[in-house]
Structure formats: structure tokens, C-alpha cells
Chain A
Amino acid sequence: MILVIKPDASPEQIDHVIQRIEELGFRPHVSRGTERTIIGVIGDERKAEVEKFAAIPGVEQVHNILKPFKLASREFQKSDSVVKVGKVRIGGGHLAMIAGPCAVESREGLDRIAAHVKKAGANILRGGAFKPRTSPYAFQGMGEEGLKILREVGDKHGMPVVTEVMDPRQVALVEQWADMFQVGARNMQNFDLLREVGQTRKPVLLKRGMSATVKDLLMSAEYVLAGGNPDVVLCERGVRSFEDSTRNMLDMSAVPNVKGQSHLPIIVDPSHATGRPDLIPSMAKAAVAAGADGVHVEVHDCPEKALSDGPQALLPDQFARLMQEVRKLVSAVGAKVD
């Protein structure tokens, strides 16, 4: 860590900074320049909290040298992580094609949609049983009954299943029925929930928070990894911005940005990112071309009757066409879909 000292700091203040650095268990290295003094803080930076140094009088800026995450970093593990969800691999050239309705609404409905997406080439089935809805009056999900339906329909079609867990108290229940936990964007920094899924041995799909930086996302992954669960798949699903014609703004550069810093797989969710079926296919293809480890697309056979997020769902036909185009790209970029 490097501390830049204010130009008007007194010698007493600088002495105090040095003293505080030593008290915090680090070794100071002072360089006095013509205009500024800077102090290198030598020691294990991960144990150093920026705020503690920034708060010392006379300190103007604090610069981190090391990344604040360790287990999630490329330095810690050079090769791409490959996460297995049932028999489906994600990462290292294997693409996840996650599809299904926003919410599990009924056994028959999910069964129909699952058959469509399976036939089109999806390899993991999604469906929410616990739904984080912006309005408390909107459909909140079928709960445990929804989980059982998801399990049965997944088994029938030979697809592993992923579903959202919103509360640490639901983790054991969701673990019983699902093959993969989804931690939604609104819970990306629900640290107790992250610790709880970190204690389990099922893979976690961790979605980027709507105002989280890439570093914030990797720090949240670190929570799960630090709990002993190595199977984390990240998901870019758009962030908030001023653009008012899309639901969110898809930050596609997060894909290579994550891959440069971390060994974890990252997939893209163009459904939540754009909220518009007319933009989803292009963004799904762009994601594969950008090197993403898969896509997550919401599909419904009757969007106008969907209980949740209908307007952004693709129809089964549209999804089948998209999958055909994606397959062409997949071979062009040298990846595989299990």
C-alpha cells in the first residue's frame, strides 16, 4: 500500500503517520520528493484496511498494490475453473445454456417450457420459487412447492436445475431440491447469505449487483470461496444507468475484465440486462463472442400471462432460433456446449 501525504502536512503529522503504520503492524518506507512525501506500507496488504490509513491526519490518498481478493484471483489459480452442475460443465471452454421461465408457475407450464428449451439445446433449467419482486404486491413465488416441481421437471427432461435463494433460512431447503444456488443481484452483498451458501457443497451462480463494480463482484465471490465452496459462477446481468430505453445497461466488458483477474467462469444474462426480447438475441451472441462461459435466458411460452417478468421473456421459437445461431458461433470460437 502507498500513502500519499498532503503537501501541507507538518513534520509532526508525518511522524505520527509513521508511528500509526508501525502500530498497525506494518513497516513504513518513506520517500521525500520535491513536492510530495509518499510512504510505502510494507506487510500483508490484505490485512490492511484502507479506511484506517485514509483516516490518519496528513494522508491525502491511499493506493492499494495487491488485489483485495485472493482465492478468486488468477494469481492464486492460473487455469480456468470448471464448475460442474449435475453433469454439465461450465468454464474452460464449456458453455452453460441456462434457460427457463422467470418463475415456476405450475407443473404443466414448467414441463412445457422445459421440453422446448431442452430440445433447442439448453443444458440447465432455471425457474424461481422465491422471487425478489420490486413490488411487495407482485407474485412472490410458489416457495417449497415450486422447488419440488422444478426438481421433478428437471429430472424428467434430464436437466440440472438452478433457482434463487434469498434468505439464509432457505439455504438448506433449496440445497435439498436444486443443483445450483442462484444469488440474485439484490443479494450480491447479502454477506450472511454468501457465507451460508459458502458452507454448502453445491455450486453458486452469483449475479452482479446493479450498482456493483467488477471488484465488488469478485469480493462477493471471495466470501463464498472463503467459506470453502470453490464452485462459483459469476453472472453479468446489467447495471443501472441513465439510459431509459433498456431495463439496465449490459456491461459486456465485465467478461474479459473478470477473466483477466479471476479464474472463475462468468456467464451473461441478456434478459435482465436489456429487459427487451428484441435485444436479447444480439446480446447473447455478443456474449459468446466476448468469451463468456454461457448465457442465461428467460423463456416463456405465453409471456403475456407470465406471473413475473413476462415482457422480457423469449418465446420458445425465438429461443430455438437463437440457440441455432449461438451454436454456429460456439464452433467459430472453439467452445463446447455439454
Chain B
Amino acid sequence: MILVLRTDATQPQIEHVIERVQELGFEPRLITGAFRTIVALIGDDNAPGVEKLDAIPGVENVHRILKPFKLASREFHRPDTVVEVGKVKIGGGHLAMIAGPCAVESREGLDRIAGHVKKAGANILRGGAFKPRTSPYAFQGMGEEGLKILRDVGDKHGMPVVTEVMDTRQVALVSKWADMFQIGARNMQNFDLLKEVGQARKPVLLKRGMSATVKDLLMSAEYVLAEGNSSVVLCERGVRGFEDSTRNVLDLSAVPNVKGQSHLPIIVDPSHATGRPDLIPSMAMAAVAAKSDGVHIEVHDCPEKALSDGPQALLPDQYATLMGELRKLAEVLGRMIDR
């Protein structure tokens, strides 16, 4: 870690800085330049108390050398992590093709949609039972009944299932019925929830928060990993931008950006990122070309009657066409889609 001192730092201040960093267990090396004095700290960048370094009088800014996450980092684990959801592998060349409706609405409806997406080549079924809706008056999900339907329909079609968990108190229940937890964008920094799913032994799909940097996302993954759950799949689902013709801005560069720093798989959700069915297929193709480990797409057979996020869902036919193109692309790129 490097501390840059203020140009007007006094000698007593500099001495105080040295004393403080020694107290924190670092070995300081003083470098006196023509205009500035900087202090190089030898020791663990992630030691307790480091966040207080820029509060020491005379310190202008603090540069970290090590990454603030450890278990999630490429340095810690060189090869790509492969996460297993049921029998489906994600990462290391295996693509997750997650599809299904935004919310579980009825057994018959989910069964129809699952039949379509399975036939098209999807390998994991999604469906929300607990829904984080912007409006408190909007449909909030079917709860436990929805989880049971999701489980039954997934089993019928031979697909593992993923569903969102919003509250620490729901973790045990969701763990009982689902194969994978989804932590939604709004909960990416719900640290108690992250710790709770970290205690579970089911994989976690962690979506990027709408104003989270890539580093923030990796720090949240670190929470889950630090509790002992090593099966984390990240998901880029768009961040807030000023562009008003799409729901969010898909930050596709997050894919290679994560992969350079971390061994964890990362998939892309073009449905929430764009909010527009006309843009979803191109962005799904781009995601696979960018080497993401899969795509997450909302599909509904009657979007106008969907109880949640209908306007952004693909129709089963559109999804089947897209999957045909994605398979061709995956083949050219030498990647596998487990069935």
C-alpha cells in the first residue's frame, strides 16, 4: 500500500503517520521527493484498520496494491471455476442457458413455458416465487407455493431450477426446493443475505447491482466464498445509465473484466439489461462471443398477460430461433452447452 502525503504535511505529522502505520503492523518505507513525501507500507493490504489510513492527518490519498478480495481472485485460484447446478456445468467452457418466465404464475403456465425452453435447448429453468417489484402494489410472487411448482415442473422436464431469495428468513425454504439461489441486483449488497447463502451448500447466482462497479460485485462474491460456499456464478444484468431508450446499460466489458481478475464464471442477462425483446438476441450473441459462461433470458408465451416484466420477455419461438444461432456460435467458439 502507498500513502501519498499532503504537500503541506508537517514533520510532526509525518512522524505521526509512521507511528500509526507501525501500530497497524506495517513496515513503513519513506520516500522523500522534490514536491511530495510518500510512504510505502509493507504488509497485508487487507489487514484490519487499513480503511482508516486516509483519516490520518497529513495523508492525501491511499493506493492499494493488492486486490481487496482474495478467495474470488485469479491469484488465489488460477483455473476457471466450474459450478455444478444439478448436472449442468457452468464455467470452463460450459455454457448455462437459463430461461423461463420472470415469475411463477401457475403450474400449467410454467409447464408450457418449460416445455418450450427445454425443447429449444435451455438447460436451467428460472422462475421467481419471491419478486422484488419496484411498486409495492405490483404482483409480489406466489411464495412457497411457487417454489413447489417450480420444483415439480423442473423435475418433470429434467431441468435444475434457479429462483430468487430476497430475505435471510427465506434461505432455508428456498434451499429446500431450488437447485440454485439467485441474489437479485437490489440485494447484491444485502450482506446478511450474502452471509446466509454462504452458509448454505447450494450454488449462488449473484447479480450485479445497478450501480455497482465490477470490484463491488467481486467483493460481494467474496462474502459468499468467505462463508465456505465456493459455488458462485456472477451475472451482468446492466447498470443505470443516462440512456433513456433501454431499461439499463449492458456493460458487456464486465465479462472479460471479471475473467481477468477472478476464476468465477460470469453469465449475462440481456433481458433485464435492455428491457427490450428487439435487442435481447443481439446482446445474447454478443455475450457468448465475449466469452461469457452463459445467458439468462426471460421467456413467456403470452407476455401481454404476464404478471411481471412481460414487455421484456421473448416469445418461445423467438427464444428457439435465438438458441439455434447461439448453438452455431458456441460451436465456432468451441464451447459446450450441457443438456
Contacts and interface: CB of A to CB of B under 8 A. Distances in A.
Contacts of B289: 282, 285-286, 288-290, 329
A281 B260 CA distance: 13
A251 B243 contact: yes
Contact of A250 (B253, B281, B285): B253
Interface string A267-288: 0001001101011011101111
Q: On chain A, which size bracket covers the interface?
A: 35 or more
B274 A253 contact: yes
A251 B214 contact: no
B194 to A, nearest CB: 21
Interface in B237-292: 239, 241-246, 249-253, 255-257, 260, 270, 273-274, 276, 278-279, 281-283, 285-291
Interface of A: 211, 213-215, 239, 241-246, 249-257, 260, 270, 273-274, 276, 278-279, 281-283, 285-291, 328-329, 332-333
A211 B242 contact: yes
B286 A287 contact: yes
Contact of B257 (A245, A252, A289, A290): A245
4 nearest CB pairs, A to B? A289-B289, A290-B286, A286-B286, A286-B290
5 contacts: A239-B249, A250-B251, A251-B243, A252-B252, A282-B256
Given A253-B250, A256-B279, A279 B213 contact: no
Contacts of B282: 253, 255-256, 289-291
B52 interface: no
A282 B257 CA distance: 10
Nearest to A275: B253
Q: On chain B, which size bracket covers the interface?
A: 35 or more
B285 A289 contact: yes
B241 A279 contact: no
Given A253-B250, A253-B273, 14 more contacts: A245-B214, A246-B257, A251-B241, A252-B286, A270-B253, A276-B257, A282-B256, A282-B289, A286-B287, A287-B286, A290-B282, A290-B283, A291-B282, A291-B285
B213 A289 contact: no
Contact of B328 (A239, A249, A256, A332): A332
A282 B290 CA distance: 5
A97 B122 CA distance: 34
B251 A256 contact: no
B334 to A, nearest CB: 10
A279 B243 contact: no
Contacts of A329: 289, 329, 332
A59 B328 CA distance: 53
A28 B281 CA distance: 41
Contacts of B255: 282
A244 B243 CA distance: 19
Contact of B251 (A249, A270, A291, A333): A249
Contacts of A273: 253
Given A245-B213, A246-B257, A250-B251, A213 B243 contact: yes
B208 to A, nearest CB: 10
A249 B249 contact: yes
B285 A241 contact: no
A254 B249 CA distance: 9
Contact of A328 (B274, B279, B332): B332
A333 B281 CA distance: 13
A328 B213 CA distance: 32
A246 B274 contact: no
B211 interface: yes
Contacts of B290: 282-283, 285-286, 289
Contacts of B329: 289, 329, 332
B215 interface: yes
Given A251-B243, A285-B289, A241 B253 contact: no
A207 to B, nearest CB: 16
B72 to A, nearest CB: 15
Contacts of B241: 239, 241, 249, 251
